[in-house]
């Protein structure tokens, strides 16, 4: 039971982190119809900028400034890159963001090298807040949970209760009409792209100390973020939250489970082969749940796309 609670919290932390990335991505997608392949690269930039700032001014300044820089960079890329490619169609846009992801990884390696950076949690939060059984829960994890929830609530408030949010929502469905009413829709797009990438930046700032700040961090999380928003349903904030938590818990529980496929084989009445190397089914005998944990989200995505192409909570198909 203790372990279950610990996994529940760990899964929540991971899921909410995924949510911060997928929230921005899903907003950007529903606006422009393009999946931003480089979204996780902005997350990486957030971590590296915050690391660089924290070496001079400390963690908290980094938490404030780094997302701003990332957001401005994102808006700039939308204005001078993506908008240009937009005229060629959706596939070139997707290819452009893919190239951007490659380029950002190379640029990060150029400035900061290939090794992991010593970006650490702030000293104030380096203590165990409480413990469940013998497992202590770090204060930083609770901090991450609160930051993510605060961002979700703020986003929800802005999108549904303010005038800006109304315009954004209207521009999602009827960009031409909104433009005709006198709103600067390209400007709205640029703003949403900037805010979305800034959110990814925030995720990077707070995840960098926990998951490690290294050039491969975007690649590790990148495709999982897509999977999240596809499962959740594109354009749906609630769907993104649901899918993020689902994937967070799924991967955490799979990684912690002690389930082995040998148990199933034994249950089916098969006998454990004496010489494992000679057995045709040796891979099934040695397969464990933590091994297949990382591919569970992909299996779920393919399944969802085949069965219900508009995702769990999405209103329209891809």
Partner 1 sequence: MNDTFQNTAAKRPLVSLRDAAPWLVATGFLLVMPFIFTANSTITIMNQMAITIIFALAYNMLLGQGGMLSFGHAVYMGVGGFMCMHILNMVEDYSLPLPLPLLPIFGGLFGMGLATIVGAFSTRKAGTVFAMISLGVGELIAACSIIIVAFFGGEEGIPGDRTYGLPFFGNEFLHPIDVYYLIVFWLILSALLMYLFSRTPVGRMANAVRDNPERAEFLGYSARKVRFISFTASGFFAGVAGGLFAINYEILTEENLSLILSGQILLITFLGGVGFFFGPIIGAIVFTLLQTVLSLETELWQLYVGALFVATVMYFPGGLAGVLMMHYPSVKLGKVKSLVVPYLKTLVPAIIGLLGTAGFIEIMFHGRHAAVGDEQMTLFWISLNSHSALPIVVTLVLAVGGIWVARRFAPEMAEAWHRSITPNAPPPPAQPPSTRDAA
Chain residues in the site for partner 1 (CB under 8 A): 35, 81, 84-85, 88, 90-92, 94-96, 98-100, 102-103, 105-107, 109-111, 113, 223, 226-227, 230, 280, 282-283, 287, 291-292, 294-295, 298-299, 301-302, 305-306, 309, 317-318
Looking at beta carbons only, is 9 or 289 nearer to partner 1?
289
Task: Tell me the closest approach of the beta carbon of residue 304 to partner 1, in angstroms.
Answer: 10
Task: Tell me the closest approach of the beta carbon of residue 113 to partner 1, in angstroms.
Answer: 6
Task: Tell me the closest approach of the beta carbon of residue 8 to partner 1, in angstroms.
Answer: 25
Task: Tell me the closest approach of the beta carbon of residue 115 to partner 1, in angstroms.
Answer: 10
Cβ contact 168:195 at 8 Å: no
Looking at beta carbons only, is 103 or 129 nearer to partner 1?
103
Looking at beta carbons only, is 124 or 295 nearer to partner 1?
295
Give the span between the Cα atoms of 309 and 312, in whole angstroms: 9
Contacts of 146 (CB under 8 A, 6+ apart): none
**Closest CA relative to residue 41, chosen from 268, 282, 221, 301:** 221
Q: Is 162 exposed, middle or buried (0-12, 13-18, 19+ CB in 10 A)?
A: exposed
Looking at beta carbons only, is 2 or 106 nearer to partner 1?
106
Task: Tell me the closest approach of the beta carbon of residue 97 to partner 1, in angstroms.
Answer: 9
Looking at beta carbons only, is 133 or 317 nearer to partner 1?
317
Give the span between the Cα atoms of 264 and 239, in whole angstroms: 34
Give the span between the Cα atoms of 293 and 258, in whole angstroms: 12
Residue labelled with tokens 């924290």 = 54
Give the span between the Cα atoms of 19 and 145, in whole angstroms: 11
Looking at beta carbons only, is 153 or 299 nearer to partner 1?
299
Looking at beta carbons only, is 34 or 63 nearer to partner 1?
34
Exposed e or buried b per residue across 176-191, where buried means at least 16 C-beta atoms within 10 angstroms of its C-beta:
eebeeeeeebeebbbb
Q: Give φ, ψ of 294 to 5 degrees.
A: -65, -25
Task: Tell me the closest approach of the beta carbon of residue 148 to partner 1, in angstroms.
Answer: 25
Task: Tell me the closest approach of the beta carbon of residue 67 to partner 1, in angstroms.
Answer: 24
């Amino acid at each position: 039971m203790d372990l279950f609670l610990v996994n529940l919290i760990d899964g929540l932390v991971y899921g909410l982190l995924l949510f911060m990335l997928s929230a921005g991505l899903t907003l950007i997608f529903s606006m422009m119809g393009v999946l931003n392949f480089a979204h996780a690269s902005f997350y990486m930039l957030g971590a590296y900028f915050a690391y660089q700032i924290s070496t001079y001014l400390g963690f908290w300044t980094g938490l404030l400034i780094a997302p701003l820089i990332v957001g401005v960079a994102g808006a700039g890329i939308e204005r001078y890159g993506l908008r240009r490619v937009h005229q060629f169609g959706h596939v070139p846009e997707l290819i452009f963001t893919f190239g951007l992801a490659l380029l950002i990884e190379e640029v990060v390696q150029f400035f900061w090298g290939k090794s992991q950076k010593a970006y650490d949690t702030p000293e104030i939060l380096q203590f165990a807040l409480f413990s469940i059984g013998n497992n202590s829960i770090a204060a930083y994890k609770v901090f991450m949970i609160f930051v993510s929830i605060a961002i979700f609530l703020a986003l929800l408030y802005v999108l549904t209760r303010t005038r800006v949010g109304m315009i954004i929502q209207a521009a999602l469905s009827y960009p031409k009409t909104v433009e005709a009413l006198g709103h600067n829709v390209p400007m709205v797009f640029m703003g949403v792209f900037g805010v979305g990438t800034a959110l990814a930046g925030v995720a990077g700032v707070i995840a960098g100390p926990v998951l490690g700040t290294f050039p491969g961090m975007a690649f590790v999380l990148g495709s999982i973020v897509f999977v999240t928003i596809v499962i959740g349903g594109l354009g749906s904030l609630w769907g993104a939250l649901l899918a993020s938590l689902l994937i967070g818990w799924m991967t955490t529980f799979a990684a912690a489970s002690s389930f082995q496929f040998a148990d199933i084989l034994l249950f089916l009445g098969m006998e454990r082969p004496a010489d494992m190397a000679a057995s045709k089914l040796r891979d099934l005998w040695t397969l464990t749940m933590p091994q297949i944990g990382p591919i569970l989200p992909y299996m779920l995505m393919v399944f969802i796309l085949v069965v219900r192409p508009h995702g769990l909570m999405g209103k329209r198909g891809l």
